[in-house]
Amino acid sequence: MLKKYLLSLLLSVTFISPAFAEEVKPVVVMTTSAGVIELELMPEQAPLTVANFLRYVDNGFFTNTIFHRVIDNFMIQGGGFSVDMERKDTLPPVANESVNGLPNMRGTIAMARTNDPNSATSQFFINLKNNDFLNANGPRPGYAVFGKVVSGMDVITQIGHVQTGRQGPYKDVPLEPIVIQSVVLK
34-80: per-residue pLDDT in tens?
A: 999 999 999 999 999 999 999 999 999 999 999 999 999 999 999 99
Q: In CATH, what number is assigned to the domain containing residue 27? A: 2.40.100.10
pLDDT of residue 156: 98
Tell me if 75 is assigned to some domain: yes
Number of domains the chain is built from: 1
45-57 pLDDT tens trace: 999 999 999 999 9
Residue 2 lies in a domain: no
In a domain, 95, yes or no: yes
* Residue 44: domain span: 23-185
Residue 151 lies in a domain: yes
In a domain, 131, yes or no: yes
Note whether 127 and 175 are within 8 A (CB).
no
In degrees, rounded to 5, the angle at the alpha carbon of residue 180 between the alpha carbons of residues 54 and 23 is 30
Structural domain includes residue 15: no
Q: Which residues of the chain have pLDDT under 50?
A: 2-20
